[in-house]
């Protein structure tokens, strides 16, 4: 779809205008946009050519955009206007993309619901009573509703891949370092990935070609050559060895999801893939979420220490500098963020670092070693991206203190995808099927730099299910 759009030079202004107006028309129902971006000036400055020529896109609102408000979903940054573009914005502009909006997100990208944005929750286009998932939920909603064919997100635990499952689209987190993070407002530096959403594997491959590459301003970005992912697309998976995470399947209580997944595995076998159940150590799987929570919150506490109301952002009055900072952070951050900073600060206390922060890092190492052992025999690891469709939004419930948090269903089945962030390996969610009229996805993870294998397995699934370029009419 993106390639076809880019080749159509006659309807650039009309399609961009249509996307912009559709985003505005759906705002009351989806609340997916924080800031609308007038495309007029961008249309005047389009390059002569490009893989995204005249294609309307959306950016998650933690992506810095020169002269355009960038809030990261937080009140403390609600007046922040960057003086520079993120590297991916520069790349997309050179490719001819036109940004029409900055999308809603969980505050400072911390959360999996998209309910904590200072502008209010984003709503799922398949059923607006339900959440989009987070933290990149606004971007997911705008792709799923057909406003744009591609939107940028970020993924620190599963913040692209879980919303992709809940919204019935493709969500890609490439290898750590594959895409520059220069100009992205950080959450947890060792876990953060730039990710994105599309409605097809074809568009996912074309997008990574544009976004990937070395950036001297991001020392974690890779020198590895960027392949032509589109040219390498092939749904022939004969002989590919796929490991199903048995721990996840055993802990999903919704048997409709399990049956749907197992039926899909049978169809992959029919196409020649070798599909086996692979069990990781169960205690290790239980430890993924706690270890992630500690590492992410400790890194976030350090990264966000500059959000003090002094250097930039919203400033609250106070009798001295300390009072200004205290008041600014107290009023500028939501309750979930304040709690996470307390946890992060506790983990970073010198007396606690060895028994809390370092121990979590050791758990991370054990998880990555276990994945590497699996990849000695298998080409990919797969499991349902979620045990259930998107949950209903309960505005009276504290979403950070949901019940049953210590169950294996929550710890393992709903939060295992942080393995992809621990390892930095490429991971992608694609639509698998529907329950109660709402979509649910399957997650695919491959070894580092094996995005082409990931896309090819995804393409085989897409061709089996027929779930390509799905759009939902928002009611």
Distance between CA atoms of residues 235 and 357, nearest Å: 42
- CA 394 to chain centroid, in Å, comes to 23
Largest CA distance in the chain: 71
Check whether the bond before 471 is cis (ω within 30° of 0). Answer: no
**Active-site annotation holder among 22, 93, 102, 135:** 135
Helices (H) and strands (E) in the chain, counts: 17, 11
Active site residue 159: yes
Q: 309: burial class by Cβ within 10 Å (0-12, 13-18, 19+)?
A: buried
Sign of CA dihedral 232, 235, 240, 245: positive
Helices (DSSP H) in 219-254: which residue ranges?
Answer: 246-250
Q: At what angle do helices 201-211 and 451-465 cross, to 10 degrees?
A: 160
Residue 271 CB burial class (10 angstroms; 0-12, 13-18, ≥19): middle
How far is C-alpha 425 from the geometric centre of its chain's CA atoms?
14
Tokens of 430: 């694609």
Residue of 154, 159, 221, 230 marked catalytic: 159
Q: Are 458 and 201 in contact (CB under 8 A)?
A: yes
CB 51 within 8 A of CB 74: no
Residue 319's CB is within 10 A of a number of other CB atoms, namely: 8
The token pair that represents 249 in the structure block:
């399947």
Closest CA to 92 of 30, 19, 160, 180: 180
Active site (annotated) includes residue 135: yes
Compute the distance between CA of residue 434 and CA of residue 441 in angstroms, rounded to an integer.
9
Give CA–CA dist 99/96, Å, rounded.
Answer: 10
Q: What angle do CA 139, 97, 215 make, to 5 degrees?
A: 85
Cβ neighbourhood burial of 4 (10 Å; 0-12, 13-18, 19+): exposed
Among 22, 60, 93, 162, the active-site one is 60
Nearest to 261 by CA among 428, 433, 389: 433
**Which residues are part of the catalytic machinery?**
60, 135, 159
């Amino acid at each position: 779809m993106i390639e076809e759009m880019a080749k159509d030079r006659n309807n650039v202004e009309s399609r961009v205008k249509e996307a912009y107006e559709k985003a505005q028309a759906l705002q009351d129902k989806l609340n997916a946009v924080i800031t609308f971006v007038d495309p007029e000036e961008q249309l005047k400055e389009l390059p002569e050519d490009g893989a995204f020529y005249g294609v309307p896109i959306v950016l998650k609102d933690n992506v810095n955009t020169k002269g355009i408000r960038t809030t990261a979903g937080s009140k403390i940054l609600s007046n922040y206007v960057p003086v520079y573009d993120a590297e991916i914005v520069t790349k997309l502009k050179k490719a001819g993309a036109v940004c029409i909006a900055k999308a809603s997100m969980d505050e400072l990208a911390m959360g999996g619901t998209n309910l904590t944005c200072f502008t209010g929750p984003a709503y799922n286009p398949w059923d607006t009573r339900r959440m989009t998932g987070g933290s990149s939920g606004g971007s997911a909603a705008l792709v799923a509703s057909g406003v744009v064919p591609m939107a940028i997100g970020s993924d620190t635990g599963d913040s692209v891949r879980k919303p992709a499952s809940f919204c019935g689209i493709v969500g890609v987190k490439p290898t750590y370092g594959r895409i520059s993070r220069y100009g992205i407002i950080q959450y947890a530096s060792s876990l953060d990935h730039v990710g994105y959403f599309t409605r097809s594997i074809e568009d996912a491959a074309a997008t990574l070609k544009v976004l990937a590459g070395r950036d001297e301003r991001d020392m974690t970005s890779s020198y590895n050559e960027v392949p032509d992912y589109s040219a390498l697309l092939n749904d022939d998976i004969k002989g590919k060895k796929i490991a199903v995470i048995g721990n996840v399947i055993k802990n999903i209580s919704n048997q409709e999801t399990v049956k749907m997944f197992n039926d899909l595995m049978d169809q992959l076998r029919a196409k020649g893939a070798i599909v086996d159940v692979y069990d990781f150590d169960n205690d290790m799987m239980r430890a993924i979420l706690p270890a992630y929570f500690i590492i992410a919150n400790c890194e976030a506490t350090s990264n966000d220490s500059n959000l003090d109301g002094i250097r930039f952002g919203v400033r609250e009055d106070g009798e001295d500098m300390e009072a200004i900072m205290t008041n600014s952070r107290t009023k500028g951050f939501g309750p979930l963020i304040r709690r996470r900073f307390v946890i992060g600060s506790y983990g970073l206390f010198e007396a606690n670092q060895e028994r809390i922060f370092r121990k979590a890092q050791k758990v991370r190492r054990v998880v990555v070693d276990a994945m590497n052992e699996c990849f000695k025999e298998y080409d990919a690891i797969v499991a349902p991206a979620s045990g259930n469709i998107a949950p209903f939004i309960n505005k009276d419930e504290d979403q950070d203190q949901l019940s049953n948090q210590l169950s294996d269903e929550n710890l393992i089945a709903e939060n295992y995808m942080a393995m992809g962030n621990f390892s930095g390996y490429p991971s992608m969610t694609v639509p698998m099927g529907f329950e109660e009229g709402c979509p649910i996805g399957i997650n695919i993870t491959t070894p580092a730099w094996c995005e082409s294998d990931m896309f090819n397995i995804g393409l085989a699934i897409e061709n089996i299910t027929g779930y390509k370029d799905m759009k939902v009419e928002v009611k």
